[in-house]
Structure 1
Amino acid sequence: MRILIADDHELLRDVLRSYLEAEGGFAVDTVADLPAALVNIAEAVPPYDLVVLDYGMPGMDGYDGLDRALAASFGRPVALMSGLAPPGVAERVLASAAAGYLPKTLPARSLVNAIRFMAAGETYMPIDLHRPSQAPVEQASGLSPRERQVLAGLCAGHANKEIARDLDLREPTIKLHVKLICRKLGAKNRTHAAMIARERALC
Structure 2
Amino acid sequence: MSGNLKKQAAIRKSNILNGSKETDDLIKIRKSLLFIFNPNKVGQWLEEMEAKGYRLDKINKRGNLFYFTRNEKRKTKYFIDFPNIIDKVYFRTYIKLGWKPMYNTRMIGGKMVIWMRTVDQGDVCSKSEFLNCNMKLPKNVFRVVTANLVNLIILVYFFINLVATVHKNIYRVDMFYIGLNTFFALLAFTFFYLLHGSVAYFIKLKNL
- Alignment TM class, shorter chain as reference: 0.3 to 0.5
TM-score scaled to structure 1, two decimals? Answer: 0.32
Higher RCO (CA-CA < 8 Å; seq separation 6+): 2
| Greater Rg by CA | 2
TM-score scaled to structure 2, two decimals? Answer: 0.32
